[in-house]
Structure 1
Amino acid sequence: MDAEPAFTAVLFGLRGCLVQSAETGPSPAPGALATLAHLRERQVPCIWVDDLTGPPSQPFTNVLPGWLPGHREQGARWPAPNGCWQALIALGSQRLDGCVLVSGEPGLLQAGLNAGLWTVGLAACSPHCERSAREWQGMTAQQQGAARGKATLELFSLGVHSVIDHLEALDNCLAHIAQRRSKGEKP
């Protein structure tokens, strides 16, 4: 059996994807640090991407590993693909084949699709599920499931290639994308 193709790079949305806002300040999203460490161990280049429309990113990046580079979109706004391409250039990536974008932000996911990247939507950090921890915990399991279901449908309607709830499921998702790539599928 042929080995699954390696990934060229993984781009992550910064806010909501890798880092969550909490009442006590920014903190790594569940599974973010373990996911980044695992990708680094496998020598898969990673970078976070963010735009200038939100608050300054410095407090958010302080909770991430120092080795993780970032790119703040300063030119065309999402869904323009420029920010994704510029992040890949900053990583020294020489090709689009095998590049993946992970985010719950519809505009950023659309930018990834426009750039020709594989895209993984994070339902738990999409606008439909973006609530404070207190609000989320105050919801019943049925309400949480309905919110995740609505987010999943919205992300698939954008055209993303896969949707997962949390970063903890990213490794299995990447394995599935690798299988698709080994069969010749392109984003």
Structure 2
Amino acid sequence: MQDSPAITALLFGLRGCLIETDTSPTRPRPTPGALQTLAWLDELPAVDAEHLAAALPAWLKAHHVVTPWPAPDACWQALMALNTTKLEGCVLVSAEPRLLQSGLNAGLWTIGLASCGSRNTYDSPQEQERQRGKATLQLFALGVHSVIDHLEALGDCLADIRQRRLKGEKP
């Protein structure tokens, strides 16, 4: 039995992925399940990104965007800063469609977060489900490889990507 291919590197969006965006801007907090990550990307001005990222551990590497999304540069630069030796098996997780498009343009596997991000505000459980469904369809229409509701589901999604790679699928 052949081992499934390893995930080479994980990149995450900052807003709406690692940091909850529905909290007070003066007290950002990590999204549940977000602290087992490697690096994050955002196109906010450095001062704003650093304020949000203050809720994250200091060891978590930051990668600020120089070329605006959806250019692939930010993803490639983040992978180089992580000393990633190959693009194969690299994954980007985000709720931000422009960052996901950047990941697709860079040749990464992409996972969209349907229940996170600035586009999701809910007045009721029914509205939450409607928004989640709408976001899921929009993310798949963008071309992302998988969509999950929250970071707690990431492990199963990464296992699915490993199996897809084992079958020869490429991003």
Same fold by TM (over 0.5)? yes
Within-5 A mapping of 1:141-160? 141-160=125-144
Match of 1:115 among 79, 103, 106: 106
Partner of 2:29: 27
The 5 Å alignment of 1:1-187 reads 1-21=1-21, 22-23=23-24, 25-33=27-35, 35-36=36-37, 46-52=38-44, 56-74=48-66, 76-129=67-120, 131=121, 136=122, 139-187=123-171
SS of structure 2 residue aligned to 1:28: coil
- How far 1:124 moved relative to its partner? 1.2
Cα deviation code 1:36-71 (max 9, x no counterpart): 3xxxxxxxxx21011135861112211112221110
Kept in 1, the 8 Å contact 2:15–2:117? The answer is no
What CA deviation, in whole Å up to 9, does each residue of 1:124-159 have, x standing for no partner?
Answer: 124541x3xxxx3xx222111000000000000000
Gaps of 5+ in 2: none
| CA distance in 1 between partners of 2:119 and 2:68 (Å) | 22
Please say if residues 106 and 126 of structure 1, whose CA atoms lie closer than 8 Å, have aligned partners that are also in contact: no
The answer as to whether partners of 2:46 and 2:64 remain within 8 angstroms in 1 is no
Structure 1 residue ranges (4+ consecutive) displaced by more than 3 angstroms after TM superposition: 52-55
- CA RMSD after TM alignment: 1.5
3-state SS in 2 of match to 1:19: coil
Report deviation, 1:4.
Answer: 1.1
C-alpha change, 1:104 and 1:55, in structure 2 (3 Å) is farther
The question of whether the paired residues in 2 share the 8 Å contact of 1:48 and 1:70 is answered with yes
Which one-letter code corresponds to 1:26 in the other structure?
P
CA distance change for structure 1 residues 186 and 179 in 2, over 3 Å: closer, same or farther? same
Report the Cα distance in structure 2 between the residues aligned to 1:184 and 1:143, rounded to whole angstroms: 39
Aligned partner letter, 1:56: D
Deviation at 1:171, TM superposition (A): 0.5
Provide the aligned length of Structure 1 versus Structure 2.
169
For 2:12 and 2:62, locate their aligned partners in 1 and report how far apart those are by CA, in whole Å. Answer: 9
- TM-score of the superposition, structure 2-length normalised? 0.93
Query: Greater helix share, 1 or 2?
Result: 1
